[in-house]
Amino acid sequence: MWSDTSIPDLTGKVALVTGGNTGIGLQTVKQLALHGAKVYMGARSESRAKEAISSILSENHAIGQEHIIWLPLDLSKLFNIVEATQLLSSWEERLDILINNAGIAADDFTTTTEGFESTMAVNHIGHFVLTTKLLPLLKATASQAGSDVRVVTISSSAERFAPKHNVFATIKDLSDPGTTNLNDYTSRTVVFSRYGASKLANILFTGELQRRLDQEDVKIIALALDPGPVATDGDPASDTSEYIVVIPFEGNH
């Protein structure tokens, strides 16, 4: 059985984890740092990020302060994502691990300043832009001898709740993925539908990214994974009164 003891020595590696200040992301940041990686915690709130970093450092004295760094990142704002990638690229000459973890399931139908539905914007579009903008740094790292570059996107089996015959062909499709025919935009059915569409988009994006990397003979592995039902703030199915769930530490395994 795989466990945290299966993680190899990551000394010299650089990682970025989005949504790294809570849930699965927080546990992932901790494990990567414990195994020697320099980890950037992508998060919107500086105070919450620094509080999360302090909690990790206070409980794990083997981790130095220089091993976990806050990266200002708001996945609902495209200009902020671009700024974050530029900042990271100015700080680092390599990026070995990108973990697209952040996710939400908005109860209300809201849109971002760019006009995208919020769940799709954060869960997929934001990560699409982030990954695309960081590809030059990831590819440069992959070209080095002994590299093992990974792009890991946290998806979900909730993709099965995506509207049938979903086609992501236009901005409107991404902004309102097949839910206009449902009466209540805030019902659990519609919330799951929007969330499922974003998770389906994660999977499709990862498959296409890997296809293009293989076509270019770039030695990067792109993965989309389902962590299972985990009790996190962003999971619409994490109500422990109705579902069997595991805590984030178990889920990040």
Give yes or no for a contact between 89 and 137, defined as CB atoms under 8 angstroms apart.
Answer: yes
Q: Which residues pair with 18 in a beta bridge?
A: 42
| 243 labelled catalytic | no
Q: Which long-range contacts (CB under 8 A, 24 or more apart) does 186-190 make?
A: 186/107, 186/108, 186/109, 188/236, 190/109
Q: Which residue among 40, 185, 195, 243 is the active-site one?
A: 195
- Whether the Cβ atoms of residue 227 and residue 251 lie closer than 8 Å to each other: yes
Is the torsion defined by CA of 170, 172, 175, 181 positive or negative? Answer: negative
CA separation for the pair 6, 231 (Å, rounded): 24
Residue 225, beta-bridge partner list: 154
Half-sphere CA count of 28, side-chain side, radius 13 A:
28
Handedness of CA 96, 138, 68, 1 (dihedral sign): negative
| Nearest alpha carbon to residue 101 among 11, 181, 179, 40 | 40
Active site residues: 195
